[in-house]
Each structure stands twice: as C-alpha cells, then as structure tokens.
Amino acid sequence: MRLDASGALLDQMAPAKSEPSAKAAPANPDPNDDEEKNPVVVELYTSQGCSSCPPADALLKELADRDDVIALALHVDYWDYLGWKDPFGKPEFSARQKSYAIAAGERTVYTPQMIIAGRETLVGPQKAALNNAILRETDVHPEVDLKITGEGDHYEIELTPVDALETPAMVQLVRYKPSATVDILRGENAGRTVTYKNIVTSLTGIAEWDGRKPVTLSVDVDGDAPAVVIVQESLASEHGPLPGPILAAGELD
C-alpha cells in the first residue's frame, strides 16, 4: 500500500525488504540502572491474504510468551481483494498502520510490518533485527509510571509522569484473542493452515491525558478476553491525532 502525504490510498504494493526505519529510540541507558522496565509493545500488521506474512506471524508467536514483550497482531483488510477475506482484518487496524506512516513522514506501508514501541519500524522483519529493536526499546528510561490494580471486570489504572510530558497521551484498551488456527482456502496462502497468536479484536481509546499530573482511571472490562492498557503519545497533525511513541503498557491480569 502506498500513501501520499495526505494519507490517501494510491495503490497496492508487494512487501519490501527488511529494513528498520530511521527513527531510533532516544536512549542512553545506564548499565547500573535497576529501575523496573516497561514491557515493549510489538505490533504486527499482517494479513491472511498476504503470502509474505506467515514468517512474521511465526516470529510474533515466539514473542507471545515473553514477559518483557506485549506482542499484538493487528490484521489489516486491504489484502482481502486477492480472494481471501481475513476474518480478523479490521479497517481500523489498517487506518492505525496508515496513521503511523503519516506520523513518520512515510509514503508507504507494507505487510508484514512491525512497529516496536510505537517508534521503530521493521518491514518483513528478521529475528535478529527484531530482537535488537526490542533490546533498544527495553533500555529506554520509562517516562510514565503505570500501575494497574483490580480483578474480574473492574480495574484502576494509575498514571504518574516521571517528568511532565511535553506531548499529551492517549490511554487505550486493547482486547485480544490468545490463539486461533485457520485453514486458508483461497488467495495467496491457499492451502496453508496457520496458527495465529494474540489477535487483536478491539483497540479503544479510554481517556486523553495531559501527562503533567498523576491521574487514576477506572476501567470496566467485559468477558474473558485478555486486555492490555497502552499509554501512547498523541501527536497533533492536520490529519488529526496520530500515534506516537508508546510510553507505558501493561496487562490487566
């Protein structure tokens, strides 16, 4: 998929070679720093209709059980025209990927594409490059202290800025399906049986936060699907708010 500067869809493209984006984590880690680290959010933009996606899906499966990573698979819908409609694909996930591209000043998005901590981009990622990106983000000093308490269907989310944030943040609730195995009958992956992990089913904004003073939010969740809270910079633009770096994230146990 190629995007112009205004975010309009121009045409479809095949996946590209694996290269990290120019954006790097702004960190100079202290090797003696024992502060608690936030888990690193890895978003995979994928599709069952994309022949290049299964290796990236397999990489995400490897991340799913790591304590230092929150791995999320967001299925896009723009490959459905090839003959297989991805049952997990949602237009809002395609729009989120496009918003990341606009925020980075890029004209193109690809599948498979991973966004690490809302900051680094890997296209058709290889394991070594992915692990290096996660390590870089792990060493970023937390900007927000996130505490989650509660159980069942009610939680309290406490947010405290380490220093007052220069950019407002959006607080988002992500629900996901832990696993699903799909027989793909048509399209580029026809005949494959693929097991997917951490399939995002919804991503909802629950609050906007100026990032200057501590705040406590109350959140009610329905059902048994796992839930994640993501605190992410909200970048102002002529296109509306765009997703920026992820400042904190945590699971609702």
Q: Is the pLDDT of residue 18 over 50?
A: no
Do the Cβ atoms of 95 and 29 come closer than 8 Å? no
Backbone angles phi, psi at 101, to 5 degrees: -65, -45
Predicted confidence band at 189 (pLDDT cuts at 50, 70, 90)?
A: very high
Domains of the chain by start residue, with CATH: 7-20+39-252 (2.60.40.10)
Amino acid 35: pLDDT: 56
pLDDT, tens digit (0-9, with 9 covering 90-100), for 194-216: 999 999 999 999 999 999 999 99
Nearest one of 188, 156, 161 to 253, comparing CA atoms: 156
Question: Residue 151 contacts by C-beta under 8 Å, 6 or more apart in sequence?
Answer: 253
